[in-house]
Amino acid sequence: MKQHPEKETQLTGELLLLLAGLAALGALATNIILPAFPDMARELGTSVKDLSATLGTFFVAFAIGQLFVGPLSDRFGRQWLVLSGLIVFVIGSAICILAANLPQLVIGRIVQALGVCATSVLSRAIARDLFEGDALARTLSLIMVAMAAAPGFSPLLGGVLNNLLGWRATFGVVAGLALLLGIHYLMRLGETHRMERRMNLSVSGIAGSYRQLLRDRKFIAPALSVSLVIGSLYMFFAMAPALLMEGFGFSPFGLALFFASTVFVVFGAGFMAPRVARRWGTVVAARSGIGIAWAGSIALLLGQQDATYFSVALTIYLLGMGMINPLGTAIALQPFGAKAGAASALLGFLQMGCAALAIGIASVLPVSTYMGFCIVLTSCQAVALVVFMRGVRP
């Protein structure tokens, strides 16, 4: 089995792109089908509203699957789980391509999520296997940028594919990307979790590992802070059609372009974060990122409700989110090299949990969609800032 000595791997652009691709595949598969919902509903004999089940079940399976993938990789290594996850994802995509009704499509999406959750979790764990310090922060910056950017570009890509080839082609494209990533991973990287660092595996051991992480302030404070901020981003993606199309009159193509434009802000912040961290220190830079995100959310809550103002204020939030995401993730994972898989899995679960909770609260508040979004967004950033400032020390 191909194995790499820890901390000896060169931080190259090729390796960064490979890890970013593994991280972004799940996010890409999440939103790529949104523009095709009307066509899918007509062909499958269902409604656009009912098709939301393909998103909800995907998130649930994705979140739960992570909790098993992390500890398994700490015990048996990363390689077989990455490759198996990609194969399962391809199988799920094939089920979606052949689906003749909504239940079959939902089953395919569940299988997709159970496979791709492995690549999302293990991209971070592999980064922790290979790098430390500034190199880890730089690697996680690109990984986090890719995960945040993929939902922005995927609706645009999905709309183009749907118009040219039909909605089933979107599943074929993501399956093809998974196969290419698997081949590249096997040839370029291989196993990164050395035998002497592997942990014993048992149900009580898995539960104990998660329990220790939840009780350890070095993990839970930065992890919860990052999860509240990134969960707010997923809330925005979920509520964006109502906010932008119904609230501000965006067309479907305009919505896709708006999503794509947010990517450049996230890219800029992600590349800026390690440089700011080297100048001010990682903890101070991460704290500043949460503060910037909070300032943007306050501007949304208290400002004008028009498209231009919304775009400017949201950009401020995205700038802060793009800073705290990689830096906070690096702070949370840095002390836990021996159980990086479990730590990464629990971090992913917390992010999905915060996203689901934020969406649920915003949807039931007795206010307009816009105000519900702004209230929850501002509250999440405020709690994240308090948790980080009280729990993380330079």
281: domain CATH number? 1.20.1250.20
160 shares its domain with 82 = yes
Residue 1 in any domain: the answer is no
Confidence of residue 314 (pLDDT cuts 50, 70, 90): very high
Residues 296 and 183 in one domain: no
Does pTM top 0.85 for this prediction?
A: no
Q: State which of 157, 190, 223 marks the end of a domain.
A: 190
For 133, the domain range is 7-190
Q: Are residues 166 and 34 in the same domain?
A: yes
* Domain assignment present for 37: yes
If asked whether residues 246 and 370 sit together in one domain, one would say yes
Segment 209-221 mean pLDDT = 89
The pLDDT of residue 163: 84
For range 238-265, the mean pLDDT: 77
Considering the domain architecture, whether residues 181 and 293 belong to the same structural domain is answered as: no
Judge whether 147 lies within some domain: yes
**For the chain, how many structural domains are there in total?**
2
Are residues 313 and 380 both part of a single domain?
A: yes
pLDDT at 7: 45
pLDDT value at residue 6: 44
Q: What would the pLDDT profile of 354-370 be if each residue is shown by its tens digit? A: 887 888 888 788 988 89
Given a cut of 50, whether residue 39 has pLDDT beyond it is yes
340 contacts 74 by C-beta, under 8 angstroms: yes
> Does any domain span residue 202?
no
Is residue 73 situated within a structural domain? yes
pLDDT average, residue stretch 28-32: 83
159 and 245 share a domain? no
96 and 49 assigned to the same domain: yes
| 344-356 core/surface letters (b: 16 or more CB in 10 A; e: else) | bbbbbbbbbebbb
Which of 190, 218, 244 is the C-terminal boundary of a domain? 190
Predicted confidence (pLDDT) at residue 253 exceeds the cutoff of 80: no
pLDDT at 375 > cutoff 90: yes
Does residue 353 sit in the same domain as residue 247?
yes
Q: Is 132 inside a domain boundary? A: yes
Q: Could you give the 3-state DSSP secondary structure of residue 250?
A: coil
Q: Which of 134, 161, 190 finishes a domain?
A: 190
Task: Check residue 242 and report its DSSP letter.
Answer: I
Shared-domain flag, residues 41 and 115? yes
Tokens of 267: 């890219």
Q: How far apart are CA 65 and CA 211, in angstroms?
A: 18
CB 90 within 8 A of CB 178: yes
**Residue 293, pLDDT above cutoff 50:** yes
Q: Is 286 found in the same domain as 173?
A: no
Q: Does one domain contain both 255 and 139?
A: no
User: Over pLDDT 90: what percentage of the chain?
Assistant: 28
Question: Phi/psi of residue 191, each to 5°?
Answer: -75, 135
Whether 200 is covered by a domain: the verdict is no
Percent of the chain with pLDDT over 70: 88
Q: Is residue 253 part of a domain?
A: yes
